[in-house]
Amino acid sequence: MLVASSIGLSRFLETETPAVSLVLDPLNTDALTAEISSDLNDTNNATDLDALLAKAKRALTFDLADARLYSLIGEIKYRQGEKDEAYQLFDQARKLSKTEIHALQRSIGRNIEAGDLPKAVGEIDILLRRWPDQFPAIAEGMPPILSNPDGYQAVLMAIRAQAPWRASLIYALIKTPEQINFANRLLLDLTGSSAPPNSSELTAAISGYIRQKQYEPAYRLFLFTLSEQERKLGGYIFNSTFEPVPSGKPFDWQVPGQSGLEVTFAASRDAVEGEGGATVRFLNTPVKNTALQQYVQLPPGSYKISLVASARNLKLPKELFWSIKCLGPAGEIARFNIPEGTYNRQKLSQDFSVVPTGCPMQLLTLQTAAIAESWRFRYVGTLIMHKLSVERLPS
């Protein structure tokens, strides 16, 4: 009973205090591998590799099937400069366990050095399927792999096969201007495949370009990844009739969450009395900021923005208006107000111009003029927007 108790306590302590665990149970392999790994990773003290090697070999005599021990001995040999023997030990560890983490890491490094990138990517896939928390370390080495044609194709094949680290890779690549083009290329190559990019991946990449003020590639990525169904909704304003299929992508309708109103989309064919479109219902409370928005890409020139809208008992203590603002020094270039009251399919329009400089892309918003959420200014009623469109005027 005492022996059993000691072994049980050793298992309990093996992760946090492996040295204490080994005192209780000298044959506890988990504790031993944890202690040796800790010593090898200790950068503050000089490591006695010969002592660690003797300890690991002694443990191996009691457990010849533990892949971790072969891997640890291989790491010690590697640090002692005996690389050929080290890789033999790593290979033996992989034979016993395909997912032995340290042997996998060393094998990935060896294959990258040898230029066998497809094999390296295959091992990266094995590693990340078993050890997903290792992705940050792997991510640092992905750009050089993607820069190589063979490496790129191997990564593309892996994420086409729905590798679980696909989204992590896309999100990692969009963070910097140097790497976002890799994400762009992968998403374009996935378009039309059996595993096309999803809305969240595209939204992340397009938003990444916008944050970096790379507006043209952002818009191209949006256009070139549209589905056949989405292409039917194209125009200067995407989905100008507010069909109920918003993707959340920046060049599609976005509904910023806020209290005080509800926004719903209804298809014209499903609507009662032809009132399809976007319905904004105000809840008799203050409303500040934006209710709807969409990024648009309008080349320099003259335009007309037109709205067909209906309203029921609409009361607006402060203005409610559509605005077009340049993402640049030109600022706001168009604004027209929504009228109060009750009306049916009223047409509103306004001409405006996009200047040649200072307006590389625009943001279209439906917003209120309220500055503070004062209960003196409560918005009431319903606005139904059937169609919002922009047309270019003859020059």
Mean pLDDT of 124-135: 93
Q: What angle do CA 256, 375, 340 make, to 5 degrees?
A: 70
Asked if CATH classification 3.40.50.720 holds for the domain at 2-181, the reply, yes or no, is no
Domain boundaries, the chain: 2-181, 261-392
pLDDT tops 70 at residue 252: yes
Second CATH level (architecture) for the domain 261-392: Sandwich (2.60)
> For residues 168 and 50, which has the higher predicted lDDT (pLDDT)?
168
> CA nearest 222: which of 306, 297, 311?
297
141 half-sphere exposure, CB direction, 13 A CA radius? 15
Task: Kindly state the percentage of the chain with pLDDT values over 70.
Answer: 84
- Range scoring the smallest mean pLDDT among 224-238, 272-286, 328-342: 272-286
C-beta pairs of 149-157 under 8 Å, 24+ apart in sequence: 150/117, 150/118, 151/117, 151/118, 151/120, 151/121, 152/185, 153/118, 154/117, 154/118, 154/120, 154/121, 154/122, 155/121, 155/186, 156/186, 156/189, 156/190
Mean pLDDT of 149-163: 95
Which pLDDT band, with edges at 50, 70 and 90, does 349 fall under?
very high
> Given this model, what pLDDT does residue 258 score?
74
> For residues 302 and 38, which has the higher predicted lDDT (pLDDT)?
302
166 contacts 187 by C-beta, under 8 angstroms: no
pLDDT for 184-240, tens place per residue? 999 999 998 899 999 999 999 999 999 999 999 999 999 999 999 999 999 999 999
> Given this model, what pLDDT does residue 38 score?
67
pLDDT for 13-60, tens place per residue? 334 444 433 333 344 566 667 666 666 666 666 667 777 777 777 767
Give me the phi and psi of 246, to 5 degrees please. Answer: -65, 135
User: How far is 371 from 122, CA to CA, in rounded Å?
Assistant: 55
SS3 (DSSP) at 244: coil
User: How far is 48 from 239, CA to CA, in rounded Å?
Assistant: 68
